[in-house]
Amino acid sequence: MHLWVGPGLPAVTEAAGPRLPVMPGTPPTRFVYLGPEGTFTEAALRTIPAAERGVRTPARSVPEALEAVRAGDADAALVPLENSVGGAVPVTLDELVTGSPLVITREVVIPVEFVLAARSRTPLGQIRSIAAHPQASAQCRNWLLANVPDAVIVDVLSNAAAAISAASGEHDAALCAPIGVPRNGLTVLADKVADHADAVTRFALLTRPGPPGEPSGDDVTSLAVSIRHDQVGALLAVLTELAVRGINLSRIESRPTGVQLGTYVFFLDCTGHVAEARLGEALQGLRRICADVRFLGSYPRHRLTPETPVAPPRGLSNTDFADSSVWLAQLRKGDIA
């Protein structure tokens, strides 16, 4: 596996370990994530107890991280899926529908709180250059204009690279993740500088396919669906398969297939678990009417604050589906009471 090493970036000290098969149900111990060290992705990964105890290796890109799992160099990969301000991460979506299948076993949602940091306490008026990843500067644009209007924003490859450049004195300050401050001996000049105070990023933990975990009662099932383009109302038919079973569609995103103009893959996040009858029926329906359906996993929803899951309409709960299945089985046996 390739490790993240580059100008101004420290070499990785944690090894990925030997290629060993992972038996179904065995907790992962070797984790790879979108690097380098000191980014929001690493901060998200370290919220997972198994990853905090295991081996963590940064990768240079999302494709590299996912390929490490496919090749057996890592048990699981954590990559960004979407941001509440910037939207979906296109490269992650594209990678999920190419190559051998991977499944999401867990999602992690963390607040995106940027800080402005420097080597020492410095008045904001004296700052002339700020290193920042383009997404960071975009999410802090208004704050920067209001507080450091004369500073030049210099694009760097990552939030970690921004912190490193400020620590080396290459730039006066950095926009970076809080995790990068103590690692580089920086001083926080201002915290929570993002324009959107409630911004969050959602990450997906991906592994090679295996039996899904048990339903938690508040789950998400992710799918990648290709519709038949010679069929009128094909997308409506997809949505109908979910709606008639009371399945809430919490997210839909389209990406071009790259084959020809006008052909797309639709990424769906649905409430429910593949083990549940109503979602199982919906998957069978999608299989019948779609050109292709790739199952991307059923996993517990990550909520930053406790919320009550949205209840399905009357007659469309899992209990209702179970009762109707029993009734149909009785009819087929001739038991009409």
The whole-angstrom separation of Cα 154 and Cα 257 is 34
State mean pLDDT over 199-217.
Answer: 92
Confidence (pLDDT) at 194: 86
Say which residue the tokens 């997404």 belong to: 135
Predicted confidence (pLDDT) at residue 39 exceeds the cutoff of 50:
yes
Predicted confidence (pLDDT) at residue 186 exceeds the cutoff of 80:
yes
Query: In 29-147, where do the E strands start and end?
Result: 30-34, 55-59, 76-83, 87-88, 103-111, 115-118, 129-132
Mean pLDDT of the chain: 86
Confidence (pLDDT) at 65: 95
Q: Model-level pTM?
A: 0.79
Confidence (pLDDT) at 24: 47
Local structure of 299: helix, strand or coil: strand
Confidence (pLDDT) at 19: 40
CB under 8 Å to 240, separation ≥6 — which residues? none
Predicted confidence (pLDDT) at residue 5 exceeds the cutoff of 60:
no
Lowest mean pLDDT among 72-76, 248-252, 293-297, 327-331: 327-331
The whole-angstrom separation of Cα 78 and Cα 271 is 22
Confidence (pLDDT) at 25: 57
CB under 8 Å to 236, separation ≥6 — which residues? none
Structure tokens at 263: 């052909």
The whole-angstrom separation of Cα 237 and Cα 248 is 15
Tally of CB atoms within 10 A around 300: 17
Q: Could you tell me the domains of the chain?
A: 27-111+202-210 (3.40.190.10), 115-190 (3.40.190.10), 211-304 (3.30.70.260)
Tally of CB atoms within 10 A around 288: 10
